[in-house]
Amino acid sequence: MCGAGIAGLTVAGQLATQGWEVTLLEAAPERRTQGYMIDFFGPGYDAAEKIGIIERLRELHYPISEARFVRPNGRSQSIDYGIVAANEGGKLMSLMRQDLEQVLFDAMPASVDARFGSAVVSVEDRTDYVTAVLADGSRISGDIVVAADGIHSVVRHNLFGDSAAFDRQLGMHTCAYTFDSPRLHKKLGDALVSSDELDRMVGLYGLRNGKVALFAAHRVADTVLPADPQQAILDAYQGMGDDIDEAIEKCPDAAHVYYDQVAQVELPVWSRGRVVFAGDACQAVSLLAGQGASLAIAGGVLLVEKITSGVELSAAFAEYEEEWMPVVLEKQAAGRRAASGFLPHTPLQLWARRASLALLRSRFFGKFVTSRITGTKPSK
């Protein structure tokens, strides 16, 4: 198992539950604590119920009262989050991404051999086994390798060549981090407050531990990641008001910041030999689709069901791809449709986003706006 993100933890835990011997390899030296708040809904919600973690997620969920969008002139537009949840049939939770990963990690059977600081650099596929080669030169062999090593997958690059050939860049960078500000924490309360202007956005919300979390995105002419993420954040978001100025001035060092491209992965086949891909390594939908974590869990559960169904491995991988790829393609298309609303580039797009937000207040029209953005069918 390569990668200890949401998909990797899901697959590792479920395979071990089914009696498989699982070695979980993660390049990072420890569990990542950087991340942002996600709206957890869709197929992953049902999958979380199925594998028995939904109650723990409910305990960690943030009861957001409203999402407030503040314009440069100080005027604001708010959405009752209860209406948004109702549009998803009540099956929506606001979670910190790292909390979701922690729940999955805690739920893994003790038999999983989790090794952090173990970077896979290549895989060698044989007829009756496959070997993962690590950066330190060590080798681990097994029946299959599940590559869940993210949007910048080393295994995908190793098997299929230039990763850029499978990346659909959406022309944005995104970042997230937490910081201390008693003033902002008190001011935010239980609301999620976002800026409302062209080409960039910053969202702020308070956390249970007294910290404030920042999530931001901005359009870029060059999608190559900067050498200095901290400076890139300062350059992109300064001058957006006193609250945001304080937030970016408190940006921590690069080791404590999540910073990445906003992109999708379009891999035409999801397996080769004894290697199969999961999560963002093959199905990244981007944050614009709003369901990356949900799809990672649901897709991971489906993959394990196919692997343990008793059919030959190649058939199991083919069934997984045939069943899950259309779902992913639909969500990716929804994400691309949402780009202009998430980060408007023209005054017309900004006006359309504000009009859509107004419609979200209506239980009738809100269902259709939500379904258009997320690629889900309106709930009854």
- The amino acid at 59: E
Q: What is the spatial distance between Cα 260 and Cα 329, in angstroms, rounded to a whole number?
A: 22
The pTM of this model reads 0.91
Confidence of residue 85 (pLDDT cuts 50, 70, 90): confident
Each residue of 292-351: pLDDT tens digit?
Answer: 999 999 999 999 999 999 999 999 999 999 999 999 999 999 889 888 889 999 999 999
Q: Residues 177, 214: contact at Cβ < 8 Å?
A: yes
Which residue from 42, 146, 48, 49 is spatially nearest to 101, judged by alpha carbons? 48
Each residue of 70-79: pLDDT tens digit?
Answer: 999 999 999 8
> How are beta strands 191-195 and 200-206 bridged, if at all?
antiparallel
> How are beta strands 200-206 and 271-272 bridged, if at all?
unpaired
Q: Residues 129, 142: contact at Cβ < 8 Å?
A: yes
∠ CA 68-74-75, rounded to 5°: 60
Q: What is the spatial distance between Cα 270 and Cα 117, in angstroms, rounded to a whole number?
A: 26
Query: How many Cβ atoms are within 10 Å of 214's Cβ, its own excluded?
Result: 23
Residues 6+ apart with CB under 8 A from 10: 51, 104, 296, 297, 300, 301, 304
* Residue located via tokens 């940006």: 251
User: Residues 24, 27, 30, 35: is their CA dihedral positive or negative?
Assistant: negative
Which residue from 79, 66, 81 is spatially nearest to 354, judged by alpha carbons? 79
Q: What is the spatial distance between Cα 29 and Cα 349, in angstroms, rounded to a whole number?
A: 42
Confidence of residue 369 (pLDDT cuts 50, 70, 90): very low
Query: How many Cβ atoms are within 10 Å of 124's Cβ, its own excluded?
Result: 15
pLDDT score recorded for residue 363: 56
Each residue of 231-256: pLDDT tens digit?
Answer: 999 999 999 999 999 999 999 998 89
Q: Residues 88, 81: contact at Cβ < 8 Å?
A: no
